[in-house]
A and B are shown apart, each in its own frame.
Chain A
């Protein structure tokens, strides 16, 4: 597996940008952090659009070091900007083919496949000004894909879109990795987006990388703020057991059964599921006669009282981690402690696509 190894330093407005990281390039690596933390600058430096001090290499291809600086057009990257930035003087088709004509080597990603994947065949002969925001961003994604990139860089590709357009385009991004096996780096300040798409995360704030690792490890790590959020969620890996006749799919997670609505895939496939902390309640004895389908045996690994009446509970499930958000009153009433086995009642599970480790 190739990895991207980079280190950059530079002045960035009020603070100093100083980052060094290795990102494994399978699936989507999210570069996550608040606005103004330097994420876009790092992404632009990886692309070569920004010339900061430092080094950058994709596998054995050195793009930047003390002696070399490979210009953008020779790096073989695809870049999707925040705004679609289609060429206004070219038709949709000509936009799509602009990079394709200039790509070297084999065309692994074909025009027909991209047009099919992004469902843009009806738009091909239109002018970009006559597309909706979501359509434009789909075309700009297709244009980047057709340039046959080794690495796709996405700079908040959905932030300029309204909610409807965002929901419309997300599935295409989700399909990307599965369909094309293309490594991606996604800049985002929307954790829900990251949970849906990414498998690995680099956490940025004030020009520094503060943490990096597999997505779920960071989402549930007690020293990071994610598990305290109202919308905190864990993203776990499960294996498909089979499709049931009532539209539910049976999954196996750490030897236990988990039912989820929808088509999960073929038996044996690894899938990712997202479970929100507030959808998990705890019981010390096996609950009986309940409408909750999914009850998982887990062990409490941490309890943290939050500001207000709630507590965040971290649960070990095999070698994975689940989050629960319950009241401090319940913690006291049930006398919950670290190390105690409990039954986690899961009210909602969502399948998220993207690669599972």
Chain B
């Protein structure tokens, strides 16, 4: 028997997790991307590698370390202590922190690429036209890097929606709190509820198609503008 009322909470939870994560990533990812694109520091690629680690690491490894960090004996536990909690693990905000770290390269990399493709010249021109550093960042760098922001946001959102391993390690499977879509599908399959698994999975296929389609269209438009 289908229970649609059971299908909705994981979808809603996933969407809010992905939206919040993407918003946070755009705010903290932009300065990181700018610094990575512009810094002359010799060791900046070490920082770039740390940001990109989640691309290569198995999600369980990342999840394991995150669990230690968020748990009662890590900094996450200390923060949770501020409001009388014991741990940040197995909570929605724990998932947000994990997702931010996990999805960071997917947001930072396209923005960094856009800043690098822009070159130094537009910023120099703006400086000779009396624009202060912040002014020229806002009125020249951001608009010129807009395609990078678009594809960064789309990719960051999509990767957060699709994460499984990290969520399982640090979030567990608490309905309404940490039971996101991918976990729900796993759950339904385990319990042989094929129809529910079908609906959610097909929805994800369509969603994934749209994401890739949109990203490719953006890339194509950028290529045309640069030509």
**Interface of A toward B, CB cutoff 8 Å:** 47, 49, 71-74, 76-79, 81, 83, 85, 87-89, 98-99, 102-104, 129, 143-144, 147
CA gap between A274 and B129 in the complex, in Å: 35
**Interface of B toward A, CB cutoff 8 Å:** 121-122, 124-133, 135-136, 139-140, 143-144, 146, 225
CA gap between A77 and B140 in the complex, in Å: 19
- Determine chain B's interface SS by DSSP, over half rule: helix
Q: Is the beta-carbon distance between A85 and B130 smaller than 8 angstroms?
A: no
Residues from chain A with a CB closer than 8 A to the CB of B144 are 87-89
Q: Is the beta-carbon distance between B131 and A73 smaller than 8 angstroms?
A: yes
Closest B-chain residue to A49, C-beta based? B124
Ordered by A's residue number, 8 sampled pairs between the chains whose C-beta atoms are within 8 Å are A73-B128, A73-B129, A85-B121, A89-B144, A99-B128, A104-B130, A144-B129, A147-B128
Closest B-chain residue to A79, C-beta based? B128
Given A73-B129, A81-B125; 4 other pairs, CB 8 A cutoff: A89-B143, A98-B129, A98-B139, A99-B131
CA gap between A103 and B128 in the complex, in Å: 11
Q: Is the beta-carbon distance between A144 and B128 smaller than 8 angstroms?
A: yes
Residues from chain A with a CB closer than 8 A to the CB of B124 are 49, 72, 79, 81
One of A78, A87, A103 near B140 (C-beta < 8 A): A87
One of A71, A102, A104 near B129 (C-beta < 8 A): A102
CA gap between A72 and B129 in the complex, in Å: 9
| Pairs of residues from A and B, 5 with the lowest C-beta to C-beta distance, nearest first | A99-B129, A102-B130, A79-B128, A72-B127, A89-B143
Least CB distance from B165 to A in Å reads 40
Q: Is the beta-carbon distance between B131 and A102 smaller than 8 angstroms?
A: yes
A47-B143 contact given A81-B121, A87-B122, A88-B225, CB 8 Å threshold: no
Q: How many A-B residue pairs have CB under 8 A?
A: 62
Residues from chain A with a CB closer than 8 A to the CB of B140 are 87
Q: Is the beta-carbon distance between B129 and A143 smaller than 8 angstroms?
A: yes
Least CB distance from B27 to A in Å reads 22
CA gap between A89 and B136 in the complex, in Å: 13
CA gap between A89 and B144 in the complex, in Å: 7
Least CB distance from A219 to B in Å reads 31
Residues from chain A with a CB closer than 8 A to the CB of B129 are 73, 98-99, 102, 143-144, 147
Residues from chain B with a CB closer than 8 A to the CB of A104 are 130
Q: Is the beta-carbon distance between B127 and A49 smaller than 8 angstroms?
A: yes
A47-B125 contact given A88-B144, A89-B144, CB 8 Å threshold: no
Q: Is the beta-carbon distance between B122 and A85 smaller than 8 angstroms?
A: yes
Residues from chain B with a CB closer than 8 A to the CB of A76 are 130
Least CB distance from B164 to A in Å reads 39
One of B125, B146, B225 near A85 (C-beta < 8 A): B125
